[in-house]
Amino acid sequence: MKTLQFLIATCAAILISGNTYGFQQLENNFKSYKGKVLEEGTNKKLVFATIALEGTNISTISNTEGEFLLKVPTTIDEGAVIFSFLGHATRKIPLQELKKGNNKIALEVLISELEEVNIEVPKDVKALIVEVLRKKGDHYFDKPTLMTAFYRETIKKRRRNVSLSEAVVNIYKAPYASNKKDAVQLYKARKSTDYSKLDTVALKLQGGPFNTLYVDIMKYPEYIFAEEQVDEYKFSFDRSTVINDRLIYIIDFEQHENIPNPLYAGKLYVDVENKTLSSAVYKLNITNRALASRLFVRKKPANVDVWPTEVAYRVDYRSKNGKWYYGYSNVLLEFKVDWDDKLFNSVYSMTAEMAVTDWKLNTDGATPKSKERIKKSIILNDEAIGFSDADFWGEYNIIEPEKSIESAIRKIQRQLKRAKPERGSSK
């Protein structure tokens, strides 16, 4: 049975020292627009809202504080920025009306559960999902595509941020109907870790961007809805809603009680008109603690027990010119670390997320050579080299960091700066 077992936590004694390197600042050939996406009336922050420049492939995602950063080339001075969020009315704002400072974007809640629209409840929900999977070649990208994506790994000890790794990657996306796997090329990467908060344990995430890439259910259904696995789930209709002004079925799914192997449970958001998956949110059944530990813990000290307490996934798709494509995904792994000689255990969480910020057709179908591709076993924290230049990403769109992460980075930079004379010059 295939499951999303590529997310691996590696726990080992600290053998790493941090070095900070400088980066060349890129030319300012873009404009940056910052702001926060809120719910109208309540001012509730809207997490993972999509922000896209209409008529282009440029987009980004709001962070866990509802904040966003959108970079637009200076060659573009007209157009509209589209703000969208599940269950809220989509809003378009002319680019010229956005301030270069902080913008507050309020999205109206769609209160009516489509009372005025006659939507038939699907009679056979499982058949609907099978049809969605079967027709992926008709509704999703059918040509090779080169995507630029921003990837981030965050490690927290309880609520405190202790490690952050970020990267810009190129995704050579194969057509959805093809069995060919996607290739990933690392463009830039950086990291920052406060080892003093890790209880003398360094936590590493094996798999890097592949952790999030394989959450693309429509490209990789074998990890959750393999043809022989569909019958192991029970599907049911929940309700209808609106996403990006489109009518959506919300479908619940969970494994049958008589299935012993750990499967998934969650919600699928299916476009009513086109029968396409627009989003999915789900969790892995990890009630079997010993099995869950074997699935997700690759290496650990002998005097410590490590086991996951939550494994959750999310994937969002976007559409353009009638075709859908992977836009954003998120993986959360929360686990406990129990030392033999300590009274209390520690709770850690690892989050991996990736957002496609631009794309174009890969007209010649070219892919990078093997030595230029990152491996599925990559540990990004080992490949990245440190935080330094605030303009490190240049014109590339990223997900705006949380305030707490920014504060942690600044603190670590100060510590490294003070320690630099003691370490000697870095390469």
| Separation of CA 155 from chain center | 14
Alpha-carbon separation of residue 40 from 36, 44, 98, 153 (angstroms): 12, 8, 18, 31
Alpha-carbon separation of residue 93 from 80, 82, 173, 318 (angstroms): 5, 7, 31, 19
Q: Residue 394: what pLDDT?
A: 85
Question: What is the C-alpha to C-alpha distance for residues 209 and 184, in angstroms, rounded to an integer?
Answer: 8
Question: What is the C-alpha to C-alpha distance for residues 217 and 387, in angstroms, rounded to an integer?
Answer: 33
For residue 340, name the pLDDT band (cuts at 50, 70, 90). confident
Q: Residue 3: what pLDDT?
A: 59
Q: Which residue has the higher pLDDT, 163 or 61?
A: 61
Question: What is the C-alpha to C-alpha distance for residues 135 and 129, in angstroms, rounded to an integer?
Answer: 10
In the 8-state DSSP scheme, what is residue 101? S
Question: What is the C-alpha to C-alpha distance for residues 248 and 241, in angstroms, rounded to an integer?
Answer: 5
pLDDT digits (tens, 9 = 90+) for 188-217: 999 887 655 656 566 788 889 999 999 999
pLDDT digits (tens, 9 = 90+) for 392-415: 888 889 888 887 777 767 776 676
Question: What is the C-alpha to C-alpha distance for residues 45 and 41, in angstroms, rounded to an integer?
Answer: 11
Contact 107, 49 (CB under 8 A): yes
In the 8-state DSSP scheme, what is residue 197? G
In the 8-state DSSP scheme, what is residue 196? G
Alpha-carbon separation of residue 302 from 11, 13, 298, 338 (angstroms): 10, 11, 12, 11
Q: Residue 246: what pLDDT?
A: 80
pLDDT digits (tens, 9 = 90+) for 308-327: 999 999 999 999 888 999 99
Average pLDDT over residues 61-90: 90
φ, ψ (nearest 5 deg) of residue 146: -105, 115
Is pLDDT above 70 for 184?
Answer: yes
In the 8-state DSSP scheme, what is residue 211? H
What is the per-residue DSSP string for 356-384?
EEEEEE-TT-----GGGSPPTT-BHHHH-
Contact 150, 396 (CB under 8 A): yes
